[in-house]
């Protein structure tokens, strides 16, 4: 019998809630399960879930194939790494050591993600405050005198000077390398 570890949808309309189940692969999505090994709530802001690690590992040893959604949950839990190391034949002490490293890295990743979201929120606040202050800034620009023609000519001369400097530096670098144009 070919078994899968997949999600079984329960819950009302527009409020999904899933059970992680072990089921015969030929059965329909909401069919009778062999065993329930956890649950998953996608509505929760943190996408909360709970899984029975030991039972999932048992079924993986028996040949059960996890669905993509279950693989994602296993990765988040660190169970995918454990299963990978077990398949490679790594002893239990090394597995625990690797999982501790993974857990530390996971904490750093989550902290960095939280910091990035906080920065986005603060930038969004700054932009909203800046958009409120925009009419005041436009009034200040209107009060400033316009640029004189002499200042415009000086700005126009600057790009030519930089082009000449770039060409000179390119010629020097080609002379140093001995390349001919």
| pLDDT given for residue 136 in this prediction | 58
| pLDDT given for residue 71 in this prediction | 93
| pLDDT given for residue 35 in this prediction | 92
| pLDDT given for residue 27 in this prediction | 84
The pLDDT tens digits of the residues spanning 42-72 come to: 998 777 889 999 999 999 999 999 999 999 9
pTM metric for this prediction? 0.61
> 3-76, what's its fold?
S16 Ribosomal Protein; Chain: A; (3.30.1320)
**Contact assessment for residue 81 and residue 104, using Cβ atoms and an 8 Å cutoff:** no
Q: For residue 180, how far is the Cα from the chain centroid?
A: 48
Q: Spell out, as residue ranges, where the chain has pLDDT lower than 50.
A: 161, 163, 179-181
User: DSSP states of 71-102 as a string?
Assistant: HHHHHHHTHHHHHHHHHHT--HHHHHHHHHHH
| pLDDT given for residue 153 in this prediction | 55
Domain coordinates in residue numbering, the chain: 3-76, 90-124
**Per the structure block, which two tokens stand in for 138?**
């436009």
Q: Return all residues near 174 (Cβ < 8 A) that are at least 6 apart.
A: 180, 181
| pLDDT given for residue 123 in this prediction | 87
Give the E-state strand segments of 15-61 in sequence order: 17-24, 35-40, 49-51
| pLDDT given for residue 129 in this prediction | 79
């Amino acid at each position: 019998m070919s078994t899968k570890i997949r999600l079984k949808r329960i819950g009302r309309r527009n409020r999904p809630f899933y059970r992680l189940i072990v089921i015969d692969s030929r059965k329909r999505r909401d069919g009778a399960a062999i065993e329930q090994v956890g649950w998953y709530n996608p509505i929760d802001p943190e996408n909360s879930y709970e899984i029975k690690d030991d039972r999932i590992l048992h079924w993986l040893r028996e040949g059960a194939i996890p669905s993509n959604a279950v693989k994602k949950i296993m990765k988040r839990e660190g169970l995918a790494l454990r299963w990978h190391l077990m398949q490679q034949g790594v002893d239990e002490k090394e597995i625990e050591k690797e999982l501790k490293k993974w857990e530390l890295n996971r904490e750093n990743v989550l902290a960095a993600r939280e910091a990035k979201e906080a920065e986005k929120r603060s930038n969004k606040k700054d932009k909203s405050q800046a958009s409120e202050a925009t009419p005041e800034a436009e009034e200040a620009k209107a009060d400033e005198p316009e640029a004189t023609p002499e200042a415009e000519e000086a700005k126009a001369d600057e790009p030519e000077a930089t082009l000449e400097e770039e060409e000179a530096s390119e010629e020097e670098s080609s002379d140093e390398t001995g390349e001919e144009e």
